[in-house]
Amino acid sequence: MSLLNLLKPFKLGNIELPNRIVMAPLTRRRAGEDRAPTPMNAVYYAQRATAGLMISEATQISPQGLGLPQTPGIHSQEQIAGWQLVTQAVHDRGGRIFLQLWHAGRCSHPSLQPQGQLPIAPSAIAPREEKALLTSGEEVPFVIPRALETAEIPGIISQYAQAAQNAITAGADGVEIHGASGYLLDQFLQDNCNQRTDEYGGSIENRARLLLDVTAAAIAVWGSERVGVRLSPSSTFQDMYDSNPSALFNYVVTQLDRLNLAYLHIVEPRIKGSHDDLTEKKVQLGVRHFRPFYHGTLITSGGYTRETGAEVIADGDADLVAYGRLFIANPDLPKRFALNANLNPYHRHTFTGGDERGYTDYPFLDLMLYNH
């Protein structure tokens, strides 16, 4: 199949993309003081601005939304100013960037929360898999979170709306709602951790309500063509599962299909967090499954190569392909794909936390053109 599939331009709403190669949202844990982006972060994103579209790392909507140390927010003036550095650098290189809006929910720790409070969740159920990461670098078991009161939920939706507004001020080109990976909106969706009895729990329609309300709030700020949503229907990361995942996610995707979004972003079953998941899964809800339910733009992500990315577009299952680890190690990934050039290997131990090593120092094909 032709690699031209990946390199063809694409119209995303009213944004012209020069190619169909997306930089996936990647938590790198290199934010500065007050969890604000820094000039180093601006260099990192600008280096990768030849992507058709960039999606920022997960960015918390409020102090309560924090789930990991050194991750950026979009709720303070310092953070907005930091993101302005990033978006300006990206735009100066001709790039386009959506800001991913994130609330970690139960996947946090009291030491990361305002006044040391418990993390919040749909129900008081802790994830049994994975660990909470402390500022010290220590990993400890997740605590039992506090179940949100029904009266608190409009405030959460308002925080998403304000974060969406702040993303405009920060100069982003749109926002992606993080509904994946076991974080707050995913926690409300799936019945292993949502055992509520109010209008946000019980039936599939009720459990999907918060995601849809948050999406509507972002659309009210941006317009539908500048809002995307990310889902991971097959992922068990952070102890996620549902008793009827096909019915749940078919419903969610059908509802999102009505909203004329910029895109729907589906994480493939073979990814669990930042790792490949090679275990045999009962749930295989990838982008091909959802194509009949979703008539807008579909982004797929999850361990794609140059060849498999071209293939999924040729097959009509997706319109755009997001790359994570390959973009970490290859800032000029579209050029390398076009030339079928060798790819730099990535160094997993530098993925999260640290300095410019493993962040802005991966070599370009033509270092003379990208002199930092």
Q: What is the pLDDT of residues 68-123, one digit of tens each?
A: 999 999 999 999 999 999 999 999 999 999 999 999 999 999 999 999 999 999 99
Residue 284: its pLDDT value, please? 77
For residues 282 and 149, give the distance between their C-alpha atoms in angstroms, rounded to a whole number: 33
DSSP for 209-232, please give it: HHHHHHHHHHHHHH-GGGEEEEE-
For residues 217 and 223, give the distance between their C-alpha atoms in angstroms, rounded to a whole number: 10
For residues 61 and 178, give the distance between their C-alpha atoms in angstroms, rounded to a whole number: 11
For residues 359 and 290, give the distance between their C-alpha atoms in angstroms, rounded to a whole number: 34
What crossing angle do the helices spanning 209-222 and 153-169 adopt, rounded to 10°?
Answer: 30
247-277 confidence digits (pLDDT tens):
999 999 999 999 999 999 999 976 544 455 5
183 is catalytic: yes
Residue 193: its pLDDT value, please? 95
283 pLDDT band, cuts 50/70/90, is low
152-171 confidence digits (pLDDT tens):
999 999 999 999 999 999 99
For residues 370 and 359, give the distance between their C-alpha atoms in angstroms, rounded to a whole number: 15
Which domains are delineated in the chain? Answer: 4-369 (3.20.20.70)
Which entry of 44, 160, 183, 251 is annotated as an active-site residue?
183
For residues 254 and 43, give the distance between their C-alpha atoms in angstroms, rounded to a whole number: 39
Strand stretches in 239-325, DSSP E: 263-267, 271-272, 275-276, 298-301, 320-323
Q: Which two tokens stand for residue 237?
A: 């990361």
Report the mean per-residue pLDDT for the chain. 93
**pTM of full prediction above 0.85:** yes
